[in-house]
C-alpha cells in the first residue's frame, strides 16, 4: 500500500496505521534484539518510528497503550546525533557569599529601575546532575537532548524515555503546543551507592560521584542499559514555547507539576535580599538530610515579564544566579609535586596526595597553582596539608598543617627546566608591559612534546573540533607513533595510511568498524564553523568567546587569515582594526600577533585550512531598523533603564556608544539631556525620544 502522507490521514486511517506500525516495529525489535539479526536498515527502522510519532502528534487521542513511542527505545545507534535546542541552554553565574547575593538583588532592581523595594524570587535547590531538554509537541515527547554546548546537544531521546519521571505524554491541559521542558537528570544517594556496589562486584570501574554516574547512565548507546539505571528527573525551567503559560516562575513550576513532572519540593518563593539570605541558610541546613546531591541554591526573579526585560549577558541570564555552597575540606599527606605542561607551555605544579575523601569524592591530585603560591604557602613535600574542592573545580591545596611538619622536610625548590626530554629552561612570563608574572613557561614551544600533545588534545576537544572517538588516549598513542604530529595530520590520516585500519584493529583493540567510525567522525568535521577553527588553534587568550567575536567581526576564513598575516607582520592598522572590536584588546592582539609571526605556526595553520571547508560566520542581525547603527542614549529614560536600553539595542545589532561623535547615527534623548544633545544637533545627527525609540525597535 502506498503511504498516505500523515497530514492527509483521517482518524480511522490513522488508527489503522498506528496498529500496523506497532506490529511492524515490534517485529523488527524482536529480530534486532532477541535474534540479533535486523530485518531492515537503521534508516528504514527510524522512518517507521518517525511516522508513528508524527501520527501520534496529530492524533494524541489515538496513542496506543503499547505504542512503540512509549516503549524503551529499541534503536541502538552507534553514536548520538546532534539536536539543536529551540532556545539555547544557558548556564548560571555564581555567587559565593551573602554580599554576592545582595549584589545580585541590587543589580536586578537597578536594571529594572525599581528602587528600594523587596521583589519576589524563587529559591530552588541547585541539583547536581546533568541538564536535559525535552521537546513536547501537542503534549507528546518527541525529542530529548543533553545540554551539549548549549546550542546543540546530543539526541538521547530513547534514553530519556526510559525515565519514569519523564512523561511520554503530558497530563492535564493548558500546555503550549510546543514546549521544551528543561530540568536535571540525577541519581539519588542510595541508588548511586547500589550502582557502585554492583559495579564493584562485577569488577567494573566505579563512578566518582552521583553526577558522573547519572551522566554515564544517560549517555548509554543502548537505552536498555539506561532503563536499568534508577535515573530521576526534576523539572525547573523551559526553553522554546509556542505560547506563554504562566506569569511567574513559581506558577510555571506548578504548571510543570500538573503536567506530570516532578519539581523540587524544597523550592520556595522569598522576598527581597533578606529572603535570599534566609533561603540559603535553610538549604544549607537541609542539605545533609536530602536524598540527592545539591551544590547550592538557584535564585530566580519570580516575575517572567521581569525576566524577559532583564535578558541575558553572554551565556547567563541576568535574572538568575547560583549561590554555591562553600568548598569541602580534608587533611592528607602531600607525597610529591609533579609539573604539568599545558598546551601553551605554562607549567603547573600538581600535588600528588595520599588518597583522601573530600565531600564524597576520592582525591589524589590537587593543583598548587604556581611556584609563587608554593613559596607563599610554604608547602613542602611530606607535609600534612588541607585539601579542598568545590563543585566542578579542580581540588586545591589550601596550605600545610604546620603543627604536623616533621623536622627533616625542606622548602620546595621550583625546577629550572621542563620535565620533557628536551629539558628546556623554564622562563617566567612577562606581560604586554614587561612585568614578570607568576607563570613559568617551557621555552621549547612546538619542540616540546608536552605542548604539542596538549595542543592536539585541545584541538579535538568538545568545544573545538569535537571529534568523536578521537580521545586523549588514542591521540597520544597516534602521536607517539608519529602518525599525528599536528592538526592537519588528523585529516590526512585515512588517506596516508591505508594499513592503519588494520593496525588500529590489532593494537588499539578497535574493531574494523569502529576504526571506520573514527574516520567518518573525522570527515564529518571537515566542514566546520569559523569560530570553532579559531578557538581550536589554541592561541593563548583566544577562548571560545573571543573566537566567536573574531569570527563575527571578520566574517570569513579568508578575512581572518589576511588579518592575522598582517598582524604577524606588525601591521599597526590591522591591530587597531581588531582592537576596535568589542572585547578585543591588546592582550589578544599581542598573542595572536606572536603566534602568526612564527613561520611554523603559519604553515601548520595553512596545512590545516587546506583540509577544511570553513563556513562563514553568522552575520550580526541586519534585518532590524537599527542594525549596524551607532546609538547614544542621553538624558533620563522613563520606560526602561540605561542598561536595559543598551542590551536591547545590542540585541538588535546596534552598537551603543557613550559619547556623540560624527560616527553616531542616532541619539535617543530623554528629559534633562544636555551637552550630548547639543553636540548631536550641532552635527546634524538624528535625535529621537524614548517613545520613538520603542516604536522603532518594535518594528
Active site residues: 126
Q: Which residues bind ligand IVH (CB under 6 A)?
A: 90-92, 124, 126-127, 131, 184, 236-237, 298, 317, 320, 322
Judged by beta carbon, residue 90 or residue 119, the one nearer ligand IVH is 90
What angle in degrees, to the nearest 10, is found between the helix axes of 557-568 and 599-610? 170
Give least dist CB 94 to ligand IVH, A. 8
CA distance 276 to 284: 12
Which residue's CB comes closest to ligand IVH?
A: 131
Quote the cell numbers at residue 81. Answer: 546525533
Give least dist CB 293 to ligand IVH, A. 10
Burial class of residue 7 (count of CB atoms within 10 Å of its CB; 0-12, 13-18, 19+): exposed
Burial class of residue 492 (count of CB atoms within 10 Å of its CB; 0-12, 13-18, 19+): middle
Q: Which single residue is written with the C-alpha cell 535553610?
A: 282
Judged by beta carbon, residue 90 or residue 537, the one nearer ligand IVH is 90
Judged by beta carbon, residue 95 or residue 660, the one nearer ligand IVH is 95
Give least dist CB 310 to ligand IVH, A. 11
Give least dist CB 300 to ligand IVH, A. 7
Give least dist CB 266 to ligand IVH, A. 10
> DSSP letters along 635-675, please?
S--SSS-HHHHHHHHHHTT-EEESS--TT--EEEE-TT--H
Whole-number Cα distances in Å, 380 to 43, 297, 340, 685:
61, 37, 18, 66
Judged by beta carbon, residue 298 or residue 631, the one nearer ligand IVH is 298
CA distance 15 to 67: 11
CA distance 453 to 456: 5
Judged by beta carbon, residue 105 or residue 486, the one nearer ligand IVH is 105
Q: Within a 10 A sphere around the Cβ of 195, how many other Cβ atoms?
A: 21
Q: Which of 164, 223, 168 is nearest to 32 (CA)?
A: 223
* Angle 155-36-56 from CA coordinates, rounded to 5°: 45
Give least dist CB 311 to ligand IVH, A. 11
**Adjacency order of strands within the sheet including 232-241:** 140-146, 130-137, 178-186, 232-241
Judged by beta carbon, residue 91 or residue 138, the one nearer ligand IVH is 91
Query: DSSP code of 31?
Result: I
Q: 302 and 122 in contact (C-beta within 8 Å)?
A: yes
Judged by beta carbon, residue 249 or residue 664, the one nearer ligand IVH is 249
Residues 6+ apart with CB under 8 A from 25: 45, 48, 49, 52, 68, 74
Judged by beta carbon, residue 4 or residue 254, the one nearer ligand IVH is 254
CA distance 660 to 374: 50
Q: 224 and 241 in contact (C-beta within 8 Å)?
A: no
Judged by beta carbon, residue 320 or residue 493, the one nearer ligand IVH is 320
CA distance 160 to 590: 47
Give least dist CB 184 to ligand IVH, A. 5
Q: Which of 285, 361, 296, 366 is nearest to 326 (CA)?
A: 296
Give least dist CB 89 to ligand IVH, A. 6
Give least dist CB 183 to ligand IVH, A. 8
Quote the cell numbers at residue 137. Answer: 509537541
Alpha helices (H) in 287-356, listed in sequence order: 304-310
Amino acid at each position: 500500500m502506498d503511504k498516505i502522507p500523515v497530514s492527509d490521514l483521517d482518524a480511522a486511517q490513522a488508527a489503522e496505521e498506528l496498529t500496523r506500525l506497532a506490529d511492524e516495529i515490534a517485529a523488527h525489535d524482536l529480530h534486532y534484539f532477541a535474534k540479533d539479526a535486523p530485518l531492515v536498515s537503521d534508516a528504514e527502522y527510524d522512518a517507521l518510528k518517525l511516522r508513528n510519532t508524527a501520527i501520534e502528534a496529530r492524533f494524541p487521542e489515538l496513542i496506543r497503550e503499547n505504542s512503540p513511542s512509549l516503549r524503551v527505545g529499541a534503536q541502538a545507534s552507534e553514536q548520538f546525533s546532534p539536536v539543536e535546542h529551540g532556545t539555547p541552554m544557558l548556564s548560571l553565574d555564581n555567587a559565593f557569599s551573602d554580599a554576592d547575593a545582595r549584589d545580585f538583588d541590587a543589580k536586578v532592581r537597578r536594571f529594572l529601575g525599581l528602587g528600594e523595594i523587596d521583589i519576589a524570587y524563587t529559591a530552588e535547590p541547585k541539583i547536581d546532575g546533568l541538564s536535559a531538554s525535552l521537546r513536547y509537541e501537542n503534549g507528546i515527547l518527541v525529542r530529548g537532548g543533553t545540554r551539549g554546548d548549549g546550542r546543540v546537544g546530543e539526541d538521547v531521546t530513547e534514553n530519556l524515555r526510559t525515565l519514569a519521571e519523564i512523561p511520554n505524554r503530558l497530563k492535564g491541559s493548558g500546555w503550549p503546543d510546543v514546549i521544551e521542558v528543561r530540568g536535571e537528570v540525577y541519581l539519588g544517594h542510595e541508588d548511586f551507592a547500589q550502582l557502585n556496589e554492583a559495579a564493584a562486584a562485577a569488577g567494573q570501574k566505579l563512578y566518582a560521584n552521583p553526577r558522573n554516574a547519572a551522566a554515564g547512565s544517560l549517555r548509554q548507546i543502548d537505552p536498555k542499559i539506561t532503563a536499568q539505571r534508577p535515573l530521576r528527573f526534576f523539572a525547573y525551567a523551559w526553553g522554546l514555547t509556542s505560547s506563554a503559560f504562566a506569569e511567574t516562575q513559581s506558577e510555571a513550576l506548578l504548571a510543570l507539576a500538573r503536567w506530570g513532572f516532578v519539581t523540587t519540593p524544597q523550592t520556595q518563593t522569598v522576598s527581597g535580599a533578606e529572603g535570599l539570605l534566609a533561603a540559603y541558610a535553610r538549604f544549607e541546613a537541609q542539605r545533609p538530610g536530602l536524598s540527592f546531591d545539591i551544590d547550592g541554591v538557584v535564585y530566580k526573579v519570580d516575575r517572567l515579564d521581569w525576566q524577559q526585560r532583564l535578558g541575558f549577558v553572554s551565556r547567563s541570564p541576568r535574572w538568575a544566579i547560583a549561590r554555591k555552597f562553600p568548598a569541602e575540606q580534608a587533611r592528607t599527606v602531600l607525597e610529591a609535586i609533579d609539573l604539568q605542561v599545558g598546551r601553551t607551555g605554562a607549567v603547573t605544579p600538581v600535588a600528588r596526595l595520599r588518597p583522601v575523601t573530600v565531600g564524597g569524592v576520592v582525591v589524589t591530585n590537587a593543583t598548587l597553582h604556581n611556584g609563587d603560591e608554593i613559596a607563599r604557602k610554604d608547602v613542602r613535600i611530606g607535609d600534612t596539608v588541607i585539601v579542598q574542592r568545590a563543585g566542578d573545580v579542580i581540588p586545591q591545596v589550601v596550605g600545610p598543617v604546620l603543627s604536623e611538619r616533621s623536622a627533616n622536610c625542606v622548602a620546595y625548590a621550583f625546577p629550572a627546566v621542563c620535565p620533557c626530554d628536551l629539558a628546556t629552561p623554564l622562563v617566567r612570563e612577562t606581560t604586554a608591559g614587561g612585568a614578570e608574572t607568576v607563570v613559568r613557561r617551557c621555552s621549547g614551544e612546538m619542540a616540546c612534546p608536552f605542548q604539542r600533545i596538549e595542543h592536539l588534545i585541545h584541538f579535538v576537544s568538545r568545544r573545538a573540533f569535537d571529534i568523536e572517538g578521537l580521545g586523549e588516549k588514542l591521540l597520544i598513542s597516534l602521536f607517539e607513533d608519529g602518525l599525528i604530529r599536528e592538526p592537519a595530520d588528523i585529516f590526512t590520516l585515512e588517506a596516508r595510511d591505508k594499513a592503519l585500519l588494520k593496525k588500529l584493529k590489532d593494537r588499539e583493540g578497535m574493531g574494523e568498524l569502529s576504526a571506520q567510525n573514527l574516520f567518518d567522525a573525522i570527515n564529518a568535521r571537515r566542514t566546520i564553523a569559523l569560530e570553532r577553527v579559531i578557538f581550536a588553534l589554541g592561541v593563548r587568550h583566544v577562548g571560545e568567546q573571543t573566537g566567536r567575536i573574531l569570527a563575527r567581526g571578520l566574517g570569513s576564513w579568508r578575512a581572518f587569515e589576511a588579518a592575522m598575516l598582517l598582524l604577524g607582520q606588525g601591521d599597526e592598522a590591522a591591530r587597531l582594526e581588531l582592537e576596535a572590536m568589542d572585547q578585543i584588546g591588546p592582550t589578544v592582539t599581542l598573542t595572536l600577533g606572536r603566534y602568526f609571526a612564527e613561520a611554523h605556526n603559519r604553515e601548520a595553520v595553512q596545512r590545516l585550512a587546506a583540509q577544511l571547508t570553513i563556513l562563514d560566520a553568522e552575520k550580526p542581525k541586519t534585518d532590524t531598523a537599527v542594525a549596524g547603527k551607532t546609538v547614544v542614549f542621553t538624558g533620563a529614560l522613563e520606560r526602561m533603564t540605561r542598561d536595559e536600553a543598551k542590551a536591547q539595542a545590542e540585541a538588535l545589532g546596534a552598537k551603543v556608544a557613550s559619547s556623540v561623535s560624527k560616527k553616531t547615527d542616532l541619539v535617543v534623548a530623554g528629559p534633562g539631556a544636555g551637552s550630548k544633545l547639543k553636540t548631536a544637533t550641532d552635527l546634524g545627527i538624528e535625535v529621537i525620544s524614548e517613545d520613538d525609540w520603542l516604536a522603532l525597535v518594535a518594528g
